[in-house]
Chains A and B, each alone.
Chain A
Amino acid sequence: MTLSVAVRWRREGDFVLDVNIDLPPSGVTALFGRSGCGKTSLLRIIAGLERIGGAQVQFRGQCWQEGRHFVPLHRRRTGLVFQEHSLLPHLSVRGNLVYGYRRTPPRRRRHHPDAVTEMLGIGSLLDRPVDRLSGGQRQRVALGRALLSSPQLLLLDEPMAALDTQTRREIMPFFSELAGQADVPIILVTHSPDEVQRLADRVVFLDEGRVTRIESLKQALSHPDSPLFFDQGAASVLTGRILPDREDGMLRFGNDRLQLLMQADRPAAQAGITRLSIQANDVAISRQALDGISVINQLPMVIEKIEAFRPGRVLVAGTLADGQRLSAEITERSCRQLALEGGQTVYALIKSVALLD
């Protein structure tokens, strides 16, 4: 019951895509790597958009490609969301949404157009021509359209890469809600560590056409030299949920043993998010709980290990009250002055404004 792909393909020039992977067909799998590492080609092979001789693709016991056997695109029932401009321009928003729905046999339909429209907040756009939508609206329609074809596998090809930061922030909650629902396995092609941290359950790292490693998100975040940290530095992901009852007008996120306060006015905060991504350099460490400081979130944490990170910096990784891991990036000097060492209990200080940005 897996998605297996085996392919060796020499593309124009000297680029070789050489991949042989088995992935559990559940949750969100990110294909992560720089542009040109072959992640989109891999996605296209899985979708059936690219027919490469000798490739083998199997999904949940169905053979999609092997030898001369090739299941064409429209029989694989995979939902695709591309980077941009994939709406059919001669159809309205409604026409796009129901294009796949109409072609899905009624017994296979898992979603109703009304429900999807409401979930994605596109009810007011239904009669609009698609060239009068903003980038974020377009991607929501593309996502809804893919969902309404009730796919058995959802393939997202950098769905947020073409959006500006503001729009990405608006649309991310829809993707994370979808990722959290887990009723369809998702393959997400991305070069954004942020998207991986917010959406993925496991990461396939690709480099120059080869898979360098496959790890759970937790593992991927646990070593300081992870490729996820190359651009924006180290980060941790905390899972939880938005708790009922606000405190001083701020939202509470976490579970019964761990709570963080965050601002309620962020678009992401309205939706049912289940993950927070926290940059390690937004976290400070204190030996005691502090009064008279603007930082609201002070979480007790047991230090697990201290590792050299960048020159002059160390990464302090610890376990929080509920067993989740958090990393703080501090200077070597602070580390020495505080005499930090494994097993110590310290306080992780997180500014709430740093959350969700």
Chain B
Amino acid sequence: MFGLAPEDWQAIEVTFRLCLYTTLILLVIATPIAWWLAGGRSPARVVVQAIVALPLVLPPTVLGFYLLIVLGPRGFVGGTLESLGLHHLAFTFEGILIASVIYSMPFAVQPLTEAFSSLGRRPAEVAGSLGAGIVDRFFTVILPLTKGGFVVAATLTFAHTLGEFGVILMLGGSIPGETKVLSVLIYDHAEAMNYEAAHRLSFMLMVFAFVTLFVVYSITRRFEVAKV
């Protein structure tokens, strides 16, 4: 189909798996962080805000380099895993998944922080006073009232992970079926002067990215209109 080689399909599969897992994990992690950022009074907030935003400004190679050190066989995390009889995380799918989670963090945290700030604390306080526990409050009040923010956070995270290249190349290399994602494969195709294959995949990604962003912006527009 579309004249794609098995190698291409394999990269597509890895890429989408990576994007999906990253998005799911980030929604779980980013929600409490964003809630805390949106409401806390503590000075630690600014520090956390800055750390979360770091991937926006750092070259991906810097992030990839440090992750390679930490997750690799002699790093703190990788070394600990090795001593437990497990495999270290450099050049593995799990490794690039951790990298993606960190790299796309701001794209999940920032829209959620904004959504929670504009919601304010009142609805959660009301629900709490009416006997709803924290999880109950989240699913019956906060989530329904900020679903626009969640849609934006999820889509941006997904799309941003799709566009990852430098971090993955540093940390994951280019192992087919494990760490070879679309962006890396396109690079490989281009390196091998296989322009036709590179073009096919690039064009697909471009269309996909456009459609995704188009959908996100129409949804946010609708939520904004609905709010007024």
Q: Of B1-9, B60-68, B71-79, B118-126, which stretch is located at the interface? A: B118-126
Determine how close the nearest CB of chain B comes to the CB of A62; give it in whole angstroms: 16
Chain A residues positioned under 8 Å from B130 (CB to CB): 74, 99-100, 103, 145-146, 149
Chain A residues positioned under 8 Å from B140 (CB to CB): 99
Contact B141 A79, beta carbon cutoff 8 Å? no
Chain B residues positioned under 8 Å from A47 (CB to CB): 129
Contact A73 B129, beta carbon cutoff 8 Å? yes
Compute how far the CA of A74 lies from the CA of B131 in the bound complex, rounded to whole angstroms: 4
Name the residue on B nearest A89 (C-beta). Answer: B145
Within 8 A of B (CB), among A54-83: 72-74, 77-80, 82
Using A74-B133, A82-B122, A85-B122 as known contacts, say yes or no to A90 and B144 having CB atoms under 8 A apart: yes
Determine how close the nearest CB of chain B comes to the CB of A41; give it in whole angstroms: 13
Give which listed residue, A73, A85, A104, A146, contacts B125 with CB less than 8 A: A73
Contact A78 B129, beta carbon cutoff 8 Å? yes
Using A88-B141, A89-B145, A90-B145 as known contacts, say yes or no to A104 and B131 having CB atoms under 8 A apart: yes
Does A86 count as interface, using CB distance less than 8 angstroms?
A: yes
Does B98 count as interface, using CB distance less than 8 angstroms?
A: no
B interface size (C-beta, 8 A):
18
Within 8 A of A (CB), among B99-137: 122-123, 125-134, 136-137
Using A80-B125, A80-B126 as known contacts, say yes or no to A74 and B144 having CB atoms under 8 A apart: no
Does A49 count as interface, using CB distance less than 8 angstroms?
A: yes
Give which listed residue, B123, B128, B144, contacts A73 with CB less than 8 A: B128
Most A C-beta atoms less than 10 A away, residue of B122, B131, B132? B131
Determine how close the nearest CB of chain A comes to the CB of B13; give it in whole angstroms: 38
Compute how far the CA of A109 lies from the CA of B133 in the bound complex, rounded to whole angstroms: 18
Render B135-152 as a binary contact track against A, CB cut-off 8 A, 1 for contact. Answer: 011001100110000000
Determine how close the nearest CB of chain A comes to the CB of B97; give it in whole angstroms: 34
**Interface residues of B, dominant DSSP:** helix
Name the residue on B nearest A99 (C-beta). Answer: B130
Determine how close the nearest CB of chain B comes to the CB of A74; give it in whole angstroms: 5
Most B C-beta atoms less than 10 A away, residue of A73, A79, A85, A104? A73
Within 8 A of B (CB), among A85-123: 85-86, 88-90, 99-100, 103-104
Compute how far the CA of A330 lies from the CA of B127 in the bound complex, rounded to whole angstroms: 51
Determine how close the nearest CB of chain A comes to the CB of B8; give it in whole angstroms: 44
Chain B residues positioned under 8 Å from A86 (CB to CB): 122-123, 126
Using A86-B122, A88-B141 as known contacts, say yes or no to A99 and B129 having CB atoms under 8 A apart: no
Contact B126 A82, beta carbon cutoff 8 Å? yes
Give which listed residue, B123, B129, B132, B136, contacts A79 with CB less than 8 A: B129
Chain A residues positioned under 8 Å from B127 (CB to CB): 74, 88, 99
Compute how far the CA of A88 lies from the CA of B123 in the bound complex, rounded to whole angstroms: 6
Name the residue on B nearest A47 (C-beta). Answer: B129
Most A C-beta atoms less than 10 A away, residue of B122, B129, B144? B129
Compute how far the CA of A80 lies from the CA of B122 in the bound complex, rounded to whole angstroms: 11
Using A85-B122, A90-B145 as known contacts, say yes or no to A103 and B128 having CB atoms under 8 A apart: no
Chain B residues positioned under 8 Å from A149 (CB to CB): 129-131
Contact B122 A77, beta carbon cutoff 8 Å? no
Chain B residues positioned under 8 Å from A88 (CB to CB): 123, 126-127, 141, 145
Using A89-B145, A90-B144 as known contacts, say yes or no to A74 and B132 having CB atoms under 8 A apart: yes
Within 8 A of B (CB), among A174-217: none
Name the residue on A nearest B147 (C-beta). Answer: A90
Determine how close the nearest CB of chain B comes to the CB of A71; give it in whole angstroms: 12
Chain B residues positioned under 8 Å from A145 (CB to CB): 130
Name the residue on B nearest A142 (C-beta). Answer: B126
Compute how far the CA of A210 lies from the CA of B144 in the bound complex, rounded to whole angstroms: 41
Determine how close the nearest CB of chain A comes to the CB of B147; give it in whole angstroms: 9
Render A242-276 as a binary contact track against B, CB cut-off 8 A, 1 for contact. Answer: 00000000000000000000000000000000000
Q: Which positions in A face B, CB cutoff 8 Å?
A: 47, 49, 72-74, 77-80, 82, 85-86, 88-90, 99-100, 103-104, 145-146, 149
Closest 7 CB pairs of A and B: A100-B130, A103-B131, A73-B128, A80-B129, A74-B128, A90-B144, A149-B130
Not counting A85-B122, A89-B123, A100-B129, a sample of 7 additional A-B residue pairs whose C-beta atoms are within 8 angstroms of each other reads: A74-B132, A74-B134, A88-B123, A88-B126, A88-B127, A146-B129, A146-B130
Q: List 8 A-B contacts (CB under 8 A).
A: A73-B125, A73-B128, A74-B129, A74-B131, A74-B132, A78-B129, A88-B145, A99-B127
Q: Which positions in B face A, CB cutoff 8 Å?
A: 122-123, 125-134, 136-137, 140-141, 144-145
